[in-house]
């Protein structure tokens, strides 16, 4: 395999253009981003709301996540959406849109960690909570970047004659350089450029898939032969679904999706500390950028179901007898008995791309089993369990179903998605580390220049740690599941209680976060095979007990600090004695706002799920399902409009 086997001159010309534009933007925006730490972290409230909404869409459309969701759509059809209630369906967006985004903006803070000082005061509890916020964000970023590294490596190694690690390392170097230079400005404006490329990919794949498939009955029959799933075209979740070896935990789909929904609700009510909200000018902008963010996420789903459908037809064509995959896996394992699942992708890539380095009989045997025609492509689909690796469907479809020229654009579109996610996560973690640790604890009198240099060093450190962590991961689904259901649960309780309970204090937040994160790490170390549901339950319970116990054993937050936070933020929840300090008119106004926000929530969530499912069902020609979800989405949007959007203020609720 050579560099020109899968890409032509036009592909490489476009890739070079992409790199030049990104680096040019990074250099151009460096001066603006370096004017102040505020500018570097959240744009100094100088960026238009629509630009931040577009950027939000790009930051949520990551490469590894796309590969994961494509894998579940390939296995389950549109029902794969319900597995991604754990995170990929981004059901936290309605909460951010309706109230948590504007609540954080009202604080006037730069970061989510600094918000803890606003909430608990500049005392031991507040500072400890601030520090734990930094630690939680940095560790989460390291985990998410490791997940991105694994996914990008798997994806790129399909096209290039290098190992997954080598591919992802080169991508990291490039992304790190332009992210370091331009900060939040770079995140926003490179995202806008990258969204244009992503939209071209969406249109191309959606049209190609829709025009290239037959009736719903034909798709259903092919899906049954390839995946064994008799309900592939359905958009309604089933109690039991057919899943291959290695995915047995998802068999009871309704149970799992219900747990995932609960997890998302718990996470959603405590979220909102995104730089885009700290950078918004007013409450109305918080709502509008979130609505645009949600609407643009619609385009992700026809792209992914289109790839899944093309994958079904492709596998059906090139691997009609999947029992050969099992035999091929057994042959490889007999030659390399010490190979563990985390090393499988590197081994398969090496055998495929450099067969001359391996025993001739091994290579001939594998070619005899899989067939010499498209042997490399078939090898890349081989999973550790001996089945078709659904995580490779994305790259294989681009490799075999897309012609040179367009292939380069699609690959760059997905790389752009990866880099958008990379930039967003790194910006959040860097901002918190420099503003809430370096400046707060180490160098309170540091100059802007020093703080910018500290930001650059922080980016490098986070990326290197993420790269090291990625070497221990088995698959992108493995790390994604743990980050969402295990590690992510470690700080859910403190993040929730601080917004809704007046008695919750800095000690409870800091200690609750600490014990929750430690519980998640211990679980990963001691019982890595624990199901995602029990990961979530175990870590959440430990975090809850730690948070409540620490809160009740320590003194409450300073009443003046609490009053200042409440009057600026105006949250709902258990704040009775503070709400009673307001006059009757203010209480009525606040109650109307809270009532509208809460009443709009079910409409917002139903609207989001419906508009994600409807285009997928349209693409696979499931007309009854499409019409049903389309009508549901229209009704839900009407409710959202009349209850919430129509009542948004021109600027702020409490001017």
DSSP string, 95-158: HIIIIIHHHHHTTT-SSHHHHHHHHH-SSHHHHHHHHHHHHHHHHHHHHHHHHHHHHHHHHHHT
Listed in sequence order, the DSSP H helices in 471-583 are 476-485, 492-500, 506-526, 532-552, 559-569, 576-579
Is pLDDT at 121 greater than 70 in this prediction?
yes
For residue 44, name the pLDDT band (cuts at 50, 70, 90). Answer: low
The count of C-alpha atoms lying within 13 angstroms of the C-alpha of 208, restricted to the half-sphere facing its C-beta, is 24
Residue range 520-543: average pLDDT?
87
Domain spans in the chain, listed from the N-terminal domain onward: 9-315+404-647, 320-387
Rg (CA), the chain: 25
> pLDDT by residue (tens digit) across 481-519?
777 777 878 888 999 999 999 999 999 999 999 999 999
Is pLDDT at 1 greater than 60 in this prediction?
no
Residue range 216-232: average pLDDT?
90
Could you tell me if 31 and 183 are in contact, meaning their C-beta atoms sit under 8 angstroms apart? no
Longest Cα–Cα distance of the chain, Å, equals 85
More confident residue, 402 or 513: 513
Could you tell me if 314 and 400 are in contact, meaning their C-beta atoms sit under 8 angstroms apart? yes
Could you tell me if 290 and 101 are in contact, meaning their C-beta atoms sit under 8 angstroms apart? yes
More confident residue, 293 or 581: 293
- Strand partners for 574: 501
Is pLDDT at 543 greater than 80 in this prediction?
yes
Is pLDDT at 36 greater than 70 in this prediction?
no
Cβ count within 10 A of residue 409: 18
Could you tell me if 168 and 147 are in contact, meaning their C-beta atoms sit under 8 angstroms apart? no
Distance CA 232, CA 246 (A): 19
Q: Residue 545: exposed, middle, or buried by beta-carbon count in 10 A (0-12, 13-18, 19+)?
A: middle
Residue range 375-404: average pLDDT?
84
For residue 443, give both structure tokens.
């160098």
Closest to 436 (Cα-Cα) out of 111, 49, 101, 92: 111
Could you tell me if 138 and 433 are in contact, meaning their C-beta atoms sit under 8 angstroms apart? yes
Is pLDDT at 2 greater than 60 in this prediction?
no
pLDDT of res. 374? 82
Distance CA 431, CA 176 (A): 15
pLDDT of res. 117? 94
Q: Is 430 helix (H, G, I), strand (E, B) or coil?
A: helix
For residue 50, give both structure tokens.
């629509």
Is pLDDT at 306 greater than 90 in this prediction?
yes
Among 182-186, 363-367, 414-418, 521-525, whose mean pLDDT is lowest? 182-186
- Concatenating the DSSP letter of every residue in 312-365 gives HHHHHHH-S-THHHHHHHHHHHHH-TT--HHHHHHHHHHHHH-GGGS-HHHHHH
> pLDDT by residue (tens digit) across 616-647?
999 999 999 999 999 999 999 999 999 999 99
For residue 340, name the pLDDT band (cuts at 50, 70, 90). Answer: confident
pLDDT of res. 110? 85
Residue range 86-113: average pLDDT?
91
pLDDT of res. 475? 63
Share the mean pLDDT of the chain.
86
Is pLDDT at 159 greater than 90 in this prediction?
no
Full-model pTM:
0.85
Region of 207 please: left (phi>0), alpha (psi -120 to 50) or beta. Answer: alpha
Q: What are phi and psi of 320, to 5 degrees?
A: -65, -30
Among 45-49, 415-419, 574-578, whose mean pLDDT is lowest? 415-419
pLDDT of res. 640? 97
pLDDT of res. 246? 74
Residue range 593-613: average pLDDT?
96
Contacts of 344 (CB under 8 A, 6+ apart): 383, 384
Residue range 236-245: average pLDDT?
85
Is pLDDT at 351 greater than 90 in this prediction?
no
> pLDDT by residue (tens digit) across 181-221?
667 777 777 788 888 888 888 899 999 999 888 888 999 99
For residue 609, name the pLDDT band (cuts at 50, 70, 90). Answer: very high
Contacts of 320 (CB under 8 A, 6+ apart): none
Could you tell me if 547 and 493 are in contact, meaning their C-beta atoms sit under 8 angstroms apart? yes
Could you tell me if 96 and 267 are in contact, meaning their C-beta atoms sit under 8 angstroms apart? no
Q: Rounded to a whole number, what is the distance in angstroms from the first to the last CA of the chain?
A: 64
Q: Is 28 helix (H, G, I), strand (E, B) or coil?
A: helix
Q: Specify the length of the chain in residues.
A: 655
Q: Residue 479: exposed, middle, or buried by beta-carbon count in 10 A (0-12, 13-18, 19+)?
A: buried
Name the CATH architecture for the domain at 9-315+404-647.
Up-down Bundle (1.20)
pLDDT of res. 35? 65
pLDDT of res. 401? 84
Residue range 537-543: average pLDDT?
91
Residue range 584-596: average pLDDT?
93
Residue range 219-229: average pLDDT?
89
Cβ count within 10 A of residue 651: 11
Is pLDDT at 326 greater than 80 in this prediction?
yes
84 secondary structure, DSSP code? G
Could you tell me if 279 and 51 are in contact, meaning their C-beta atoms sit under 8 angstroms apart? no
> pLDDT by residue (tens digit) across 310-323?
999 998 888 888 78
pLDDT of res. 320? 82
Token pair 């959040």 in the structure block, residue:
428
Is pLDDT at 3 greater than 80 in this prediction?
no
């Amino acid at each position: 395999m050579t560099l020109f086997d899968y890409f032509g001159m036009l592909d490489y010309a476009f890739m070079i253009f992409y790199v030049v534009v990104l680096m040019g933007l990074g250099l151009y925006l460096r001066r603006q981003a370096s004017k102040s730490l505020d500018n570097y972290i959240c744009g100094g409230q100088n960026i238009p709301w629509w630009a931040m909404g577009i950027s939000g869409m790009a930051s949520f459309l990551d490469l590894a996540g796309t590969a994961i969701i494509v894998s579940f759509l390939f296995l389950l059809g549109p029902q794969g959406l319900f597995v991604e209630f754990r995170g990929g369906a981004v059901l936290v967006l309605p909460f951010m849109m309706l109230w948590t985004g504007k609540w954080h903006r009202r604080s006037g803070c730069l970061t989510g960690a600094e918000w803890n000082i606003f909430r608990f005061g500049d005392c031991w509890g507040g500072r400890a909570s601030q520090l734990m916020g930094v630690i939680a964000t940095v560790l989460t970023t390291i985990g998410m970047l490791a997940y991105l590294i694994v996914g990008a490596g798997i994806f790129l190694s399909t096209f290039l004659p290098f190992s997954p690690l080598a591919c992802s390392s080169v991508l990291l170097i490039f992304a790190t350089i332009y992210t370091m230079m331009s900060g939040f400005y770079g995140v926003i404006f490179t995202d806008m450029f990258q969204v244009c490329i992503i939209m071209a990919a969406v249109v191309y794949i959606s049209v190609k898939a829709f025009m290239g498939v037959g009736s719903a009955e034909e798709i259903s029959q092919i899906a049954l032969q390839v995946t064994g799933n008799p309900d592939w075209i359905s958009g309604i979740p089933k109690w039991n679904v057919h899943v291959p070896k290695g995915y047995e935990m998802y068999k009871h789909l309704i149970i799992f999706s219900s747990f995932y929904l609960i997890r998302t609700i718990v996470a959603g009510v405590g979220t909102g500390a995104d730089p885009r909200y700290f950078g918004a000018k007013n409450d109305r902008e918080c709502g509008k950028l979130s609505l645009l963010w949600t609407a643009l996420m619609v385009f992700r789903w026809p792209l992914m179901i289109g790839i899944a459908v093309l994958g079904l037809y492709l596998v059906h064509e090139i691997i009609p007898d999947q029992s050969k995959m099992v035999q091929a896996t057994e042959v490889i394992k007999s030659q390399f008995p010490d190979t563990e699942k985390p090393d499988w992708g590197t081994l398969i890539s090496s055998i495929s791309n450099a067969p001359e380095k391996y025993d001739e009989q091994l290579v001939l045997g594998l070619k005899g089993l899989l067939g010499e025609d498209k042997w490399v492509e078939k090898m890349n689909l081989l999973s550790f369990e001996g089945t078709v690796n659904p995580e490779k469907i994305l790259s294989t479809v681009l490799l075999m179903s897309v012609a040179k020229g367009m292939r380069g654009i699609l690959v760059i579109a997905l790389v752009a998605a990866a880099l958008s996610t990379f930039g967003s996560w790194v910006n959040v973690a860097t901002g918190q580390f420099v503003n809430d640790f370096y400046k707060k604890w180490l160098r309170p009198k540091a100059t802007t220049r020093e703080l910018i240099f500290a930001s650059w060093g922080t980016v490098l450190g986070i990326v290197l740690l993420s790269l090291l962590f990625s070497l221990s991961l088995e698959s992108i689904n493995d790390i994604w599941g743990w980050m969402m259901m295990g590690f992510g649960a470690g700080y859910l309780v403190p993040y929730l209680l601080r917004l809704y309970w007046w008695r919750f204090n800095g000690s409870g937040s800091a200690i609750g976060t600490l014990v929750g994160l430690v519980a998640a790490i211990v679980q990963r170390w001691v019982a890595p095979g624990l199901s995602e549901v029990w990961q979530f339950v175990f870590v959440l319970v430990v975090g809850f007990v730690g948070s409540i116990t620490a809160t009740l054993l320590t003194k409450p937050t300073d009443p003046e600090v609490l009053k200042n936070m409440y009057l600026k933020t105006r949250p709902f929840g258990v704040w009775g004695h503070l709400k009673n300090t307001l006059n009757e008119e203010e209480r009525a106004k606040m109650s109307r706002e809270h009532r509208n926000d809460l009443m709009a929530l079910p409409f917002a969530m139903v609207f989001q799920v419906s508009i994600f499912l409807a285009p997928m069902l349209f693409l696979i020609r499931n007309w009854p399902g499409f019409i049903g979800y389309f009508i549901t989405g229209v009704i839900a949007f009407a409710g959202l409009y009349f209850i919430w959007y129509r009542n948004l203020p021109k600027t702020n609720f409490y001017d």
